[in-house]
Chains A and B, each alone.
Chain A
Amino acid sequence: AQTVTQSQPEMSVQEAETVTLSCTYDTSESDYYLFWYKQPPSRQMILVIRQEAYKQQNATENRFSVNFQKAAKSFSLKISDSQLGDAAMYFCAYRSADNNNDMRFGAGTRLTVKP
């Protein structure tokens, strides 16, 4: 079974600075998708960024980018120019390309942004 590990329970960053959240995963599959979700106090899980495993190019969405290292099974999220609104719980998630009805989440990293 696939597992997703986030080794940083909490992180903090100064406003306007850059922070990187770590995620590693374990799988024997070659085709899969990886996601970062944000969950603010409002509770709704919001998709931040996604990455297809077969693409070598790292995904980027405005201030959010990933460093995807397939051989190392690593998928870190970089937030640039951090804003107060970025404060939330961040979950890394894995979804198999074959088993299309199952998404597995890491334990989460709570990000605090200091003004």
Chain B
Amino acid sequence: DTEVTQTPKHLVMGMTNKKSLKCEQHMGHRAMYWYKQKAKKPPELMFVYSYEKLSINESVPSRFSPECPNSSLLNLHLHALQPEDSALYLCASSQAYRTGYGYTFGSGTRLTVV
């Protein structure tokens, strides 16, 4: 299995809703990442988990809450989002200490906040 699977592919939520994005990989990668990508822009790093511990939080608002329950799964919990949070959310994984091999990305969740 050489894939990163993200669900759902599309999500529309109101500003008072609570929802979660899910990311799963079975490649034995011990580093997992959340990126946010606005239209026609590069991905922006949000969070990094290394060996199931949060190692980087790029000053992301608290309405985004990451969780890494095990080495294969990464969640992003969403609460009280704003319309400007609408974007493509990409999950990626990599071998934690072999930095030369790049990331494997999922296909993303297209989030629309109404």
Q: Give which listed residue, A95, A97, A102, A105, contacts B42 with CB less than 8 A.
A: A105
* Total CB contacts across the A-B interface at under 8 A: 66
Check: A35 CB closer than 8 A to any chain B CB. yes
Complexed CA–CA distance, A44 and B110 (Å): 12
Interface size on A, residues (CB 8 A): 26
Interface string of B77-114 (1 = CB under 8 A from A): 00000000000101010001111111111111010000
Q: Give which listed residue, B41, B100, B106, contacts A107 with CB less than 8 A.
A: B41
Query: Across the interface, do B99 and A108 meet the contact criterion of CB distance under 8 Å?
Result: no
Q: Give which listed residue, B92, B102, B107, contacts A50 with CB less than 8 A.
A: B102
Query: Across the interface, do A97 and B100 meet the contact criterion of CB distance under 8 Å?
Result: yes
Query: Across the interface, do A44 and B108 meet the contact criterion of CB distance under 8 Å?
Result: yes
Main secondary structure of the interface of A (DSSP, over half): strand
Which residue of chain B has its CB nearest to the CB of A96?
B99
Check: A52 CB closer than 8 A to any chain B CB. yes
- Give chain B's interface residues, CB within 8 Å of chain A: 31, 33, 40-43, 45, 48, 50, 55-56, 88, 90, 92, 96-108, 110
